[in-house]
């Protein structure tokens, strides 16, 4: 009986860890693989609800700060920190690197191909080159 309980707990642990969602990785770079300065790679990532994304600090001095999201997520990581977020709500998540936002270091996570909050993102705060980059990322989305 004691063993049954342990097996049950192990199953619970296994399923809670592994059964839902894939994990994707985005790198934070001084230069991405195409030579672009101060860029996330990939800048646009399409995932499904329940998936998670890990941002890897390939170069130091970058973070992620959520700007617009379907669930008004308030999140900001520390510079140089590896961070993982799980995405449950469909929609577009627009984030940036706080120190390099004016340089256009931004990214989009699209959950379940849901564009329902795209107008909110179009009209959101994007200083300097972020506005240019944001417009070009939104333009490049599959229609
Ligand atoms: Cu940065």
User: Residue-wise pLDDT tens for the chain (143 aa)?
Assistant: 666 665 555 555 555 555 579 999 999 999 999 999 999 999 999 999 999 999 999 999 999 999 999 999 999 999 999 999 999 999 999 999 999 999 999 999 999 999 999 999 999 989 999 999 999 999 999 87
Provide DSSP, 44-108: EEEE-TT-EEEEE-SSSS---EEEE-TT----BPPTT--EEEE--S-EEEEEE-GGGGGGT-EEE
CA of 80 to the centre of ligand 1 (A): 9
Say whether 1 sits in a helix, a strand or coil. coil
CA of 29 to the centre of ligand 1 (A): 7
Architecture of the domain defined by 21-139: Sandwich (2.60)
Domain ranges of the chain: 21-139
Q: What is the pLDDT of residue 9?
A: 55
Which pTM value belongs to this model?
0.86
CA of 54 to the centre of ligand 1 (A): 16
């Amino acid at each position: 009986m004691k063993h049954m309980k342990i097996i049950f707990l192990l199953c619970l642990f296994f399923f809670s860890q592994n059964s839902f969602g894939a994990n994707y990785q985005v790198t934070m770079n001084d230069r991405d693989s195409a030579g672009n300065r101060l860029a996330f790679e990939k800048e646009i990532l399409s995932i499904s609800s329940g998936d998670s994304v890990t941002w890897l600090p390939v170069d130091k001095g970058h973070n992620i700060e959520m700007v617009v999201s379907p669930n008004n997520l308030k999140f900001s990581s520390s510079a140089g920190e590896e961070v993982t977020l799980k995405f449950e709500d469909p929609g577009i998540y627009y984030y940036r690197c706080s120190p390099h936002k004016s340089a256009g270091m931004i990214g989009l996570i699209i959950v379940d191909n849901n564009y329902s909050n795209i107008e909110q993102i179009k009209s959101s705060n994007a200083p300097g080159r972020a506005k240019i980059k944001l417009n070009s990322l939104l333009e490049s989305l599959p229609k």
